């Protein structure tokens, strides 16, 4: 067993490593080292918590940890990069459910200690957690109850919300927003009833109130995310990340675990900040997104004129051979086709011909922030030619060729031209201003968000249909 001082020192070291990890993830070149900071920090946290004061029942804990580690290893090896968003959502659900279980257990232990006190029974032989409760004052126990309520409510919302987000991101559920009639009032009513039950719980109503609070919160989480459309799913994942952090922090307060408090606060605050940044990038109001369905369109979307004109690999190659400047805009379709290595080879070949090749990355390209950056880094695309939307947008008008690979909403001119579009006002890459635009796309569908794109019908746009990797591979031998 390790002393409390060692556990505290390990918690401080782990917290510092977590902060360094978050800081390093903002830079592609430092990201790999930042991940190792997080791994080492978590290893320290787990080991020193396991062998800290008051911890026992290793015969049960260690086998469960080994089983969990084995499952995690299998999942990590099996999951493709394109499936990372839904994996993140699934992991958020585990944190939320853990918060619910910890809250319920804490209340049962608190009630047990209170009953033993009232009966004048000896408090010897209690579990480590119950023993700490035995030394708390009535005011401290009341504060514990507040922590329990918050943990159960936030955890339950996070659990069902994350399960629905997983289903939508994995394509197992329809990505369109769905709500019961009077949906916002249902959510508000469930939240108000949860508050009433929380007050009753704090005034001694009993464990049943926590059960009902969890049920209501399960409904709120489910109904909230069901009411959010596919176009807003990246923000939802980030928001649920924040929720899971605050749920973990609530668990930390309940268990008097400083490391959980710090870690939960880091995850909660960083997730909230990222959600705000993404909402700004999509011209969404944060409150509107998290409430699901507020705002929206004010009338029918504008009709699209023209037709989608297809082009073959020879036509695209001819345009690339004649071009001096090329911008590539990747999206989720590139990830699905695992075309990043083919794209990297295309870039290498074009640059060897003396052409100016750059990438334009929208803040919410793919299903998670940084999704495209990770894929391009994996394919060894030079960092210095991967530019953010604000860095590349003004240059698109003077660009000879733009190749859009599996993107839809982030290059949709309706965001600026149609006030009734679901994405009206969203900042987008103005690829239609280039001399020629080639869109690499599987078919004529509207894509994940279900929003039609007028770009595909413009006179300077040609549709390069087919699997992205196969299409790019077909281009390579035709280039000078």
What pLDDT is stored for residue 295 in this prediction? 42
Predicted confidence (pLDDT) at residue 2 exceeds the cutoff of 80: no
Structure-block tokens of residue 317: 């190659």
Same domain, 131 and 221: yes
Same domain, 189 and 332: no
Structure-block tokens of residue 242: 């924040």
Which residues, 6 or more positions from 176, have their beta carbon under 8 angstroms from its beta carbon? 229, 230, 450
- Whether residue 305 is contained in a domain is answered as no
How many other CB atoms are found less than 10 A from the CB of residue 1? 9
Same domain, 68 and 204: no
Same domain, 382 and 411: yes
What pLDDT is stored for residue 480 in this prediction? 81
How many other CB atoms are found less than 10 A from the CB of residue 7? 21
Q: Where are the alpha helices (DSSP H) in 323-442?
A: 332-337, 340-352, 371-378, 389-392, 414-417
What pLDDT is stored for residue 230 in this prediction? 65
Per-residue pLDDT tens for 171-227? Answer: 787 767 777 777 778 888 999 999 999 999 999 888 999 999 999 999 999 988 888
| Domain closes at, from 260, 291, 322 | 291
The total number of structural domains that make up the chain: 3
What is the domain extent for residue 162? 80-291
Same domain, 72 and 113: no
Per-residue pLDDT tens for 244-266? Answer: 999 989 888 888 888 889 889 99
Chain centroid to CA 467: how far?
A: 26
Same domain, 343 and 461: yes
- Whether residue 71 is contained in a domain is answered as yes
| Domain closes at, from 36, 60, 78 | 78
How many other CB atoms are found less than 10 A from the CB of residue 415? 22
pTM for the model: 0.79
- Whether residue 59 is contained in a domain is answered as yes
Same domain, 144 and 273: yes
| Radius of gyration of the chain, Cα coordinates, nearest whole angstrom | 26
| Domain closes at, from 78, 101, 132 | 78
Q: From residue 296, how far is each of 75, 168, 209, 275, 311 by CA, in Å?
A: 37, 20, 36, 19, 35
pLDDT band at 118 (very low <50, low <70, confident <90, very high): confident
- Whether residue 300 is contained in a domain is answered as no
Q: Looking at the annotation, which residues are catalytic?
A: 409
Per-residue pLDDT tens for 273-315? Answer: 888 877 777 777 777 666 655 444 445 556 677 788 999 999 9
Q: Do 158 and 240 touch, CB atoms closer than 8 A?
A: yes
> Could you tell me what percent of the chain has a pLDDT over 70?
91
């Amino acid at each position: 067993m390790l002393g409390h001082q060692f556990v505290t020192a390990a918690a401080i070291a782990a917290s510092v490593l977590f902060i360094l990890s978050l800081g390093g993830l903002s830079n592609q070149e430092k990201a790999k080292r930042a991940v190792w900071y997080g791994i080492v920090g978590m290893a320290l946290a787990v080991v020193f918590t396991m062998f800290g004061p008051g911890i026992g029942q290793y015969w049960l804990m260690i086998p469960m940890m080994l089983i969990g580690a084995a499952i995690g290893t299998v999942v990590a090896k099996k999951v493709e990069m394109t499936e990372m968003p839904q994996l993140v959502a699934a992991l958020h659900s585990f944190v939320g459910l853990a918060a619910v279980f910890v809250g319920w257990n804490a209340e049962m232990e608190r009630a047990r200690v209170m009953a033993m006190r009232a009966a004048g029974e000896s408090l010897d032989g209690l579990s480590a957690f119950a023993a700490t409760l035995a030394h708390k004052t009535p005011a401290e126990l009341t504060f514990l109850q507040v922590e329990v309520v918050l943990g159960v409510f936030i955890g339950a919302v996070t659990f069902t919300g994350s399960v629905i987000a997983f289903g939508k991101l994995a394509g197992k559920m329809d990505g369109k927003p769905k709500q019961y009639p009077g949906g916002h009032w249902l959510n508000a009513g469930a939240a108000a009833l949860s508050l009433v039950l929380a007050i009753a719980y704090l005034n001694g109503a009993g464990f049943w109130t926590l059960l009902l609070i969890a049920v209501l919160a399960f409904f709120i989480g489910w109904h909230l995310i069901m009411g959010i459309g596919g176009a807003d799913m990246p923000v939802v994942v980030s928001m649920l990340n924040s929720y899971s952090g605050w749920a973990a922090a609530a668990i930390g307060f309940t268990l008097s675990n400083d490391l959980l408090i710090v870690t939960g606060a880091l995850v909660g605050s960083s997730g909230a900040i990222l959600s705000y940044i993404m909402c700004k990038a999509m011209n969404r109001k944060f409150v509107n997104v998290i409430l699901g369905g507020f705002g929206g369109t004010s009338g029918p979307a504008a009709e699209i004129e023209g037709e989608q004109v297809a082009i073959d690999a020879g036509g695209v190659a001819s345009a690339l051979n004649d071009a001096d400047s090329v911008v590539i805009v990747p999206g989720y379709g590139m990830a699905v086709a695992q075309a990043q290595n083919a794209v990297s080879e295309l870039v290498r070949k074009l640059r060897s011909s003396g052409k100016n090749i750059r990438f334009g990355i929208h803040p919410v390209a793919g299903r998670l922030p940084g999704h495209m950056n990770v894929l391009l880094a994996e394919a060894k695309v030079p960092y210095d030619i991967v530019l953010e939307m604000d860095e590349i947008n003004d240059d698109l008008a003077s660009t000879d060729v733009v190749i859009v690979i599996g993107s839809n909403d982030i290059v949709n001119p309706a965001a600026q031209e149609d006030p009734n579009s679901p994405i009206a006002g969203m900042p987008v890459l103005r690829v239609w201003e280039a001399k020629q635009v080639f869109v690499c796309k599987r078919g004529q569908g509207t894509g994940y968000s279900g929003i039609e794109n007028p770009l595909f019908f413009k006179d300077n746009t040609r549709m390069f249909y087919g699997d992205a990797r196969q299409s790019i591979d077909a281009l390579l031998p035709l280039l000078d």
